[in-house]
Chain A
Amino acid sequence: MPQTEIPNILSTLTFLPLIGAVVVMCLPRPRDIAAAGHGHGHDDAHDHGSADTRPVFDPNRQLVNGVAFLFTLVTFLLSVMLFLKFNSSFVDVAARNMQFVERADWITLGSVHIQYHLGIDGISLLLIVLTTFLSMLCVLFSTQNKERLKEFMVFLLMLETGMIGVFCALDLVLFYVFWEAMLIPMYFLIGIFGHENRVYAAVKFFLFTFAGSVLMLIAIISTYNATGSLDVVALSNPASLAATKLHHLDPQALLWMFGAFSLAFMIKVPMFPFHTWLPDAHVEAPTAGSVILAGVMLKMGTYGFVRFCLPIFPEQAQSMAPVFITLAIIGIVYASIVAIVQPDAKKLVAYSSVAHLGFVILGIFTFTRVGMMGALIQNINHGISTPMLFFIVGMLYDRRHTRQISEYGGLKKHMPMMATMLLIATLASVAVPFFNGFVGEFPILQGTYISSVTGIVPTAIAATGMVLSAVYMLWWFQRLMLGPVKQEVNKHLPDLNKTELAVLIPLVVVVFWFGLGSPYWTHRLETAVNLEVPVEVEKINEDLPILRAQFLNRVSHDRITSRGKHNEEDSRPMTIHPEMEIIKFKDIPPPKPPTVRGMMKAGASAPAAGGGGGGGARTAPKPRQRFHAEQPTATSKSLNAKKLEGSR
C-alpha cells in the first residue's frame, strides 16, 4: 500500500503553519479596535461584547484573519488526510512500525550525530489531528480579537508548528528543540494578551517548564553518551543495540535518567506537586491560549510518558509506578476538591484539568492495556471537552469582562444557545455516558481495578474523582446558567454569534462522535497500545477471583492468535480489534470461551456500542465476526485485512 502521495507529509504538516506565520508577519498591520482592551475588569460592563460591537470594516484585518485561517485550515485538512491514509491494520506488520517516516542527517559535528527523524504511530496521529483541529478553531475564535491581531495570529501559528513537531519527532534532540521552541509563542500569548497577572503567569509557566526540561536535556545527552543513539524507535526496542547498551548502565543511573525525563513530563502534565503553574497560566491566558494549553500542551506531558519514559525505561517505569499512581490519585482528589470552591470560572476549569490529567496518568501506570487505552482516549477527550469549556468561558468574559461565577446566574433565559453548549461541555467533562468523557474514564478505572499495581482501593479513591467532578461541574453550570437573573446587565447579553457557533459546533459534533462511535477513532490506537503494553509487561492482578479465569484465558488466547501471524523475529502477541469484539458481544448472545475476553473489552466500550452502533462509520458484517471469534488462527488474517479495508 503506498503510504503517501504527498512527499514528506509530516514535514509539510509541521512547517506549513510556520510558513503561515511568516506570511502573516509580512501582511500590513490591522488597526486595533480601541473599545475594549483586556484587563479592564468591571469598568467595561456596558460593553456588550463582540456580538454587538461589529468591528469597522478593515481590509487589513480581514486579510490577516483570512490568511491565518487559511493556513490552519489547510494544515487541518492535511492532518485529516494523514488520518485517513494511516495504516491501522492489525495484521499488516508495516502498521506496527512508525509510519510516514522521514529521516535525514541533521547535525553531524565531531562525534555528534543528530537526525531529522519524523514519524507517527496511532498515539501521535490522534494528537496531531487534535492539534490542527484546535488550532484552526482558535484562529477562528481569535478573529474577533481587538488588539494586536497580527501578532496574535503569528504566535498562534508558530505554536502550532511547535506542537505538531513535538508529536512527530522521533529523535530526542529534535523533540527537545520543538518542545522548548514551543514555549516562546505561548509565553507571548499569555504575556501580551493575558489578563491582569499575565506577566507573573507567563514567567511562571516558562520557568516551570524550562526547569523540568533542561534536566531532561542532560538525561538525553547521557542517553546519547551511553548508547550513541538518539533514535526513539531504536531505544524503545529492547532487542536493539542501543537499548541493550542503555540497559547495561548502572540501575541507579538509569533511575536518575528516568527521573529526569519524568520530571519534565510531570511538570508539563502537570501532576500533583508540580501543578501550581497551571491555574495561573490558564486563568491569565487569553481564551485561545487556554484552549491550546489545556487541549494540546498538557497532552505533551502524557505523550512524553507514553512515548519516552515507558518504552525507553520500562523497568524503571514499572518500579516507580506506585509513586506515579499515588501522585495521580492525590491529584485527582485534591484538584477536584479545590475546583469545587473556586469562585473564578476559569480557575475551576483549570483545576478540573489537573484532575482529568490525573486520570490519564493513572491509566498509563496501571500497565494494563485497558488502562492505557482509556488513558489515551481520555487524553483526546479532555482535549475536546476542556477547550469547549474554555471557549465558552472566554465568550462570557468577552461579554462581561469578569470571570467571577457569582457575577453570572440565570443566563439560560437570555442565552439559550450558549446554555445548551455549556451543558454539553459540562456533561462531556463530567463523563456522562453518551458523551466522550465516559469512553475514556471508564476503561481507566477498569484498568486500575484489574491491575496488580493498583487494585480496588486506589480505584475506589480515584472513582470519587468522578463523583466530585459531577459536583463541581454541575454546580458550576447551575450557578452560571440556572436560577434567577441576578444582575441587570446580564439580561442584555447577546447570545452566540456566528463565529462563536462556528467554533463550538464542530466541537459538539466531535463530543458525540467520540462518545458514540469511539472505535472509529480508537482502533487507530490499538496497535500502538499493544506494542506499548505487551503481554509480558501487562500487570493483570490474577488474584481477582471473578476475573482471573477470564484473563488467563485471554493471555493464552493472545498467544494462540499470535502464532503464525507475524514474522519470526516478532514475538509480540496481538489482541483482536475491540470493534469486532463489541459487535461480537452484541451479536452472539451466549458468549463462548474465547469471547469471554470480549466481554472484558466490551465492558470498556459497551456503552459506546450500545449507543446505536456508533457514528455510522462501522459497517462490519456479522459472518466475519463470528468466524473470527471461533477460529482466531492464521486464516483470519486475510479476512481481517479485508474487513478493515471494508470498514475504511
Chain B
Amino acid sequence: MILSNGASLAAIAPILAVMITGMIVLLGDSCLKLWRQAKWVSPTISVLGLVVSAALACSLIGTSGQQLAFSGALTADAFSQACNIILAVIAALAVMGSATYLENRGLQHGEYYVLVLFSTSGAMLMAAASELIVLFVAVEILSVALYVLAGYARTERKSEEAALKYFLLGAFAGGFLLYGIALIYGGSSSIVPGQVGTTNLRALGIYLHQMPAPNQMFIAGTALLMVGLAFKAALVPFHMWTPDVYEGAPTSVTAFMAAAAKVGAFAAILRVFNAFIPISEYWLIIVQVLAVATMFGGNILAVVQDNVKRILAYSSIAHAGYLMVGISALTGSGAATDALKAEAHSAAMGGITFYLLAYGIMTMGAFGVLIWISRRGRDVQTLNDLKGLVKTDPVAAYTMLIFMLSLGGIPPTMGFMGKWFLFYATLQAGQLWLAVTLALASIISIYYYLRVVWVMCFTEPDENAVAPGRAVASGGVVVSLIASAAATLLFGVAPGLLHSLMDAASTVLRP
C-alpha cells in the first residue's frame, strides 16, 4: 500500500519525533543560557523524546502492515516500527548512561545528546529504507554523528585516533556502498529490457523474482554493497576498525555505537538481502563464510584481550556473526518445500529481530556497568581494573554477571532465548552445519565472558588500583542498568511478552 505524503509523515512519526527532539535540544542548548546551565535538561528532554518515539512506534506497529511511504522510498512497515522501538530503547538507555559518564569526565555538553539523537534517527531510517539511495543517506546520517561522538573526548589522543580511524575507514566503506549502488542501478536496467534502472529494493525484488539471472554488473554491485554494509556491521574481515574505535571512544559512546550502529546495519542488511533472496545462490555462500569467519574471528580474538572494552568490542563482532547466521537462514536454502522455506524465513525474521533487541539491551547493560563502576572517578579499561570488584562493589559485579551470562547465551536470560530463536531458524532452514558452527563458536565465547566474571568475583582487589574517589551522582545510569537487567531476565523467562515484535518482523515477506 503506497501512502500519500501526509500519511507518509504520520507513518514515520517515530523517526520524526527523534529528529525533532534532536533539533529542540540543539536549539535549546545553544540559545538558552538557563538550559545550558542546568545539566540535566538536555538528557531529560532527549529521553522524553525517545520515549515518545517508542510509544508512537508501539501504537503504529499493529496497524502498519506493509505500508510504503514517500512513493516507495521508505517502507514504514511493522518491521521498521519494531526496529524503531529497539533503537529508541537503546538510545534512551545510552542517554541515561551517558549523563553520568560525561559528568564524571567533565564532558557534559548538550550537543552530545543532539548527536546521539541524530544518529539514532539515521539508524531508524536505515531500517525503513527501501531505496538504496535513502539507505546511503541514512548510513551517512548515522555515521557522521558517530564520527564526531567517537572523538568527543577531544583532549585525549586515543579518542582522536578513534575518530580519525573510524572516519577514514567509514568514508572508504561509504565509497564501496555508493559504488555498489551505482552498479546495481546500471545492472538492473538490463534485467527487464527497455526499463530504466532502479535502486528501489522492492522493485528489484520483484524483477529478480521474475528473472533470477542477473548480469555481472548487478552481481558486482551486490558484492560492493555487501562490503559496505559488512563494514558498518563490523563483520570479519571488515572489522579492523572496531576494537580500536571502541577502545578509544568514550565508554558511553562505545556502548551506543556497539548497539545502535549494529542494529541499524543489520536492519539494512536484512532489507537488502531479503530483496535479493531470488538470487541467493550468488551470495548465500559469501554470507555463510562471513558468518563463520565473524563468529570465530570475534570470539577467538576476544579470548586474548586484557582490555574490557576490547573484549566487548570483539564480542560485538562475534554477535554480528551470529546475526549473519540468521541472515543465511532467511533464504531457507536447505528446506525442502516452499512452505518450509517461508516458515524458515519468518522464523529467521523473528529470530533476528529478537536477537537485535536482546543484543542491544545486554550490550548497553554491560557497558552501563563499566560506566557505573567508573562513577568513583576511575575509568575502567583493563580487566585489572575489575579485580575483586565483588568485594568493593558487589551489586555492580553481580549486575555485570547477568549481562555476561546473557551475552554468553546462558539461561534464564534474554541472550539464551535469542540464541534459541536463531538456532531454531537455522535448523528450520536446513542449515545444520551452520547451527553447529554457531554452537561451537559460542562455547569459545563462554570462556571470555566467564573470564570477566572470575576476575570480578574470584580474585582479590588489586593493590595498585586507583583508590576509589568520591562517588558522583549516578541516577541516570542506575535507572538504565535496572531497566536493562530487569529486561534481560524478564524476557529471558517470558519472551512471549515480545510477541508483537516478532509478529511484526514476519510482515517482511519473502519476495
- A interface residues (Cβ-Cβ under 8 A, vs B): 106-112, 173, 176-177, 180-181, 183-184, 187-188, 191-192, 198-199, 202-203, 206-207, 210-211, 214-215, 217-218, 221-222, 224-225
Contact = CB atoms under 8 A, between A and B. Distances in A.
Contacts of A106: 496
A447 to B, nearest CB: 35
Contacts of A224: 424
Interface string B433-451: 0011001001100110011
A187 B411 contact: no
B64 interface: no
Max chain A Cβ within 10 angstroms of own Cβ: one of B411, B442, B495: B411
A446 B423 CA distance: 44
B458 interface: yes
Contact of A203 (B401, B410, B447, B499): B447
A110 B446 contact: no
A184 B457 CA distance: 12
Given A109-B495, A111-B347, A191-B454, 6 more contacts: A109-B421, A177-B412, A183-B410, A191-B453, A218-B436, A221-B420
Given A108-B496, A214-B442, A215-B439, A180 B450 contact: no
Contacts of A180: 410-411, 416
Interface in B488-511: 494-496, 498-499, 502-503, 506
Question: Which 8 A-B pairs give the minimum distances between C-beta atoms?
Answer: A177-B411, A191-B458, A214-B439, A211-B443, A180-B411, A110-B350, A107-B496, A199-B454
Contacts of A177: 411-412, 416
Nearest to B408: A210
Contact of B427 (A199, A210, A221): A221
A50 to B, nearest CB: 23
B46 interface: no
Q: Interface SS of chain B: helix, strand, loop or mixed?
A: helix
A248 to B, nearest CB: 14
A176 B439 CA distance: 15
B456 to A, nearest CB: 10
B346 A110 contact: yes
B432 interface: yes
A222 B458 contact: no
B103 interface: no
A207 B454 CA distance: 13
B111 interface: no
Contact of A109 (B427, B432, B502): B502
Contacts of B379: none
Interface in B302-355: 343, 346-347, 350
Interface string B375-406: 00000000000000010000000000100010
A108 B503 CA distance: 11
B98 interface: no
A215 B443 CA distance: 10
Contacts of A215: 436, 439
Contacts of B446: 206-207, 210
B440 to A, nearest CB: 8
A18 B254 CA distance: 36
B428 interface: yes
Nearest to B492: A177
Contacts of B390: 192
Nearest to A110: B350
A218 B410 contact: no
Contacts of A110: 346-347, 350, 502-503, 506
Contact of B428 (A176, A188, A218, A225): A225
A109 B499 contact: yes
Given A110-B503, A202-B454, A184 B410 contact: yes
B349 to A, nearest CB: 9
Nearest to B442: A214
Given A180-B416, A214-B439, A109 B496 contact: yes
Contacts of B502: 109-110
Max chain A Cβ within 10 angstroms of own Cβ: one of B412, B458, B498, B499: B458
